[in-house]
Structure 1
């Protein structure tokens, strides 16, 4: 289910002020020889850096990023330095050769054969010949300023898979037609496997009295969400993970804290820190607050009673940034399904992955509670989901029923 995003990420690339600075330092350390006429690699890098800074100052207002034309970068370089596109093209090619010689030198010294100069040069070469039908240029403040070539269509990178034998398997591929269309496969046989675990051991409910929708998620709404989470956790007293749509939403709902100690996922945790956090959750059974789409939302198993309650505290829609708007426009123009492909499908994958943490064996039981009125949009993608008037009470009753069945000798 992550294959489309993985292919997009592998096909995309960026040129940041930070990477240019690294390349400039490397060029000077390695002699910064003349490339052509009077120009050195440091000159080409300075041209590119100055152009990016100018574009950021000129085109980005209050937002963090904006869509631009691929021609904007090259034209700004040409105008600022009074050079032709052919001369800049030649300089970039010579700079790539210089970077290649640096990488070869490192290899002879027994080091990793890489070069920042070569990386920036290759990115500029790709920028010049990009396919604007399937890529979009994004100008951003990130990395002290950057330009990115974001891949809209992952099918080109994935096309070799159609010539080989591959099995695509996940519990969250449906609707399969959307997945196959995004990765560019057609006429591929597929099969849906029915639930292998007892359906009555998992329940999914949603509550429509709260939302994290950006124009409605004020302090009052966050307080309501906080109280709902507090009530559910207190009344169930089970292993619980709460997934928020963003770190900012998590912080806003957490506020001054809960009446019980909790664990929290933080930004940019290392792999070791993630494993340590999961280990602490398993050992202490404290509720864990995490972020949708993060490393805690998929790929981890919590067998037995380690995890029995999943709370989805808000629908994890993608950020409406320049990249997501470009994806929407691309699929809207291609098949008239921009919202379904760029927003609804990836959101449903996230929600179902989070719900999927609950049941990992036939003996597991668990309940998922989605606290957002917009959950009703996903009834088709989450079959069996029902509306709850009182999510805390229904969650408590769910576990009481299983406790009574166990006491009565029922499986």
Structure 2
């Protein structure tokens, strides 16, 4: 929606030309799209019917929409044919190109929101629905709903790899290798090789706690699970004079404890990653965590999220990090997008759960635990606060 508002401003700045034989201006067309997307969000995400009755008893952030719902609504409102709609989309792209040319002549970046809109609508209308799903997504607290065509098959974008004479793919967290091979559309004859870690197993210990879980239905039934989990976190942070990173499954879970005022229980330097942090602020946070813990001799605590910028992209050698606490198993949220992905992998490989739920969770666990050991001299302990942890023991 914010992008469409930018389209409205751009259209008015550059003359606001007419579309569809003069029936509607570019700005009015964009405002109409804003209204349609809001209606799609209200209908499919919120479950609000025409009489204002809400049918959804639970909160969700996205929903499937019929493949031609957007086009049908546009044609109905403007009383146009599909051919005229295609002409409108082409005109938007053409107007955008002229704006790009003008911007470049003025010494500015050749950027046009209208050109992006035209390209998106062209793609949306012609996308192959056997490999994509169409969604309406409620984001930014309902202030910026959007529609998206989500690609279910990553092999579409990297098919060129199969034209290479050979390629080598390597990382410490590619397992399960069969899932990686199949998702990328690599040949079944691709050689899959696993090399053991060169680091001593004695340098890393992994424990798990049996009396807690982040499984939603169990937390809903047993109100003692969340307080018990927080007690484990505070006990570890306040007992061991080491630098400790606590990795939560999501920012929502992290906020759950923060909003309760629980952070006051941590009796040491505490640093908390925030979702909206700039990269420079994040780097300052990590630097402060490392230095505070080493300088005061009692260690510091860093609260982060699995799959985030810290847990997957930063090194903490030697005493900079010695204990990692993993709060729950980072299974993906059961969104419409996730359900569509799982259904597609079930259809294509017969392994929807294994490839789209279990494998991503295992990778996030490995990435977070991997912050502990970065060279052969590092030593560290990981504690997984979830009784489901043993199912990942072979990884």
Instruction: Give the TM-score taking structure 2 as reference length.
Output: 0.89
Q: CA offsets, 1:143-185, max 9 Å, x none?
A: 5321111111010101112223543111111111111101111
CA root-mean-square deviation: 1.6
Local SS of the residue matching 1:360: coil
Deviation per CA, 1:230-266, whole angstroms, max 9, x where unpaired?
A: 2223333211100011223223345432241311111
CA contact (8 A) 2:306 2:312 kept: no
User: CA–CA distance in 2 between the matches of 1:138 and 1:302?
Assistant: 39
Length, aligned pairs only: 365
Q: Which residue of 2 aligns with 1:55?
A: 40
More moved, 128-137 vs 51-60: 51-60
Conserved? CA contact 2:153–2:183, under 8 Å: yes
Is residue 104 of structure 2 the alignment partner of residue 120 of structure 1? no
CA displacement at 1:33 relative to structure 2: 2.0
1:66 aligned residue (63, 67, 81): 63
Q: CA deviation at 1:34?
A: 2.8
Alignment partner of 1:205: what SS?
Answer: strand
Q: How far did 1:329 drift?
A: 0.8
Pairwise mapping of residues 150-299 of structure 1 onto structure 2 (< 5 A)?
Answer: 150-164=150-164, 165-186=166-187, 187-217=189-219, 219-254=223-258, 255=260, 256-257=262-263, 258-261=265-268, 262-285=270-293, 286-299=300-313
Which residue does 1:346 correspond to in 2? 360
Query: Partners in 2 of 1:195 and 1:337 — Cα distance?
Result: 28
Q: Which residue of 1 aligns with 2:331?
A: 317
The CA distance in 2 between the partners of 1:31 and 1:225, in whole Å, is: 59
Give, in whole Å, the separation in 2 of the partners of 1:311 and 1:373.
14
Q: Secondary structure at the match of 2:318?
A: coil
Residue 40 (str. 1) matches residue 25 (str. 2): yes
How big is the shift at 1:36?
Answer: 4.3
Counterparts of 1:323 and 1:350 in 2: how far apart (Å)?
19
Paired residue for 1:375?
389
Q: Which deviates the most, 167-176 or 97-106?
A: 167-176
Q: Which residue of 2 aligns with 1:406?
A: none
Which deviates the most, 218-227 or 102-111?
218-227
The 1-side partners of 2:42 and 2:366 are apart by 41
Whether the 8 Å CA contact 2:60–2:335 is kept in 1: the answer is: no
Offset of 1:300 from its aligned partner?
1.0
Mean Cα deviation higher: 318-327 or 51-60: 51-60
Contact 1:223/1:253 (<8 A) preserved? no
Q: Which moved more, 1:256-265 or 1:283-292?
A: 256-265
Over 3 Å counting, the alpha-carbon distance change for 1:72 and 1:379 in structure 2 is: same
Kindly state the Cα deviation for residue 362 of structure 1 after the two structures are TM-superposed.
Answer: 1.1
Deviations along 1:110-133, one digit per CA (max 9) or x if unpaired, are: 111110010011100100100101
1:332 aligns with 2:332: no
Contact 1:281–1:288 under 8 Å retained in 2? yes
Would you say the 8 A contact 1:203–1:366 is kept in 2? yes
Name the residue aligned to 1:85. Answer: 82
Inter-CA distance 45–251: structure 2 relative to 1 (3 Å threshold)? closer
Please tell me whether the aligned partners of residues 343 and 352 of structure 2 are also in contact (alpha carbons under 8 angstroms).
yes
Task: Report SS of the residue matched to 2:116.
Answer: helix
Q: CA deviation at 1:134?
A: 0.7
Aligned mates of 1:322, 1:45 — CA distance in 2: 26
Q: Which runs of 5+ in 2 are unaligned?
A: 47-58, 294-299
The structural deviation recorded for 1:335 is: 1.9
Choose 35-44 or 202-211, whichever is displaced more: 35-44
1:134–1:152: 8 Å Cα contact kept in structure 2? yes
| Closer, same or farther: CA 346–333 of 1 in aligned 2, 3 Å | same
Cα 1:245–1:213 shift into 2, 3 Å: same
Which residue number corresponds to residue 25 of structure 1? 9
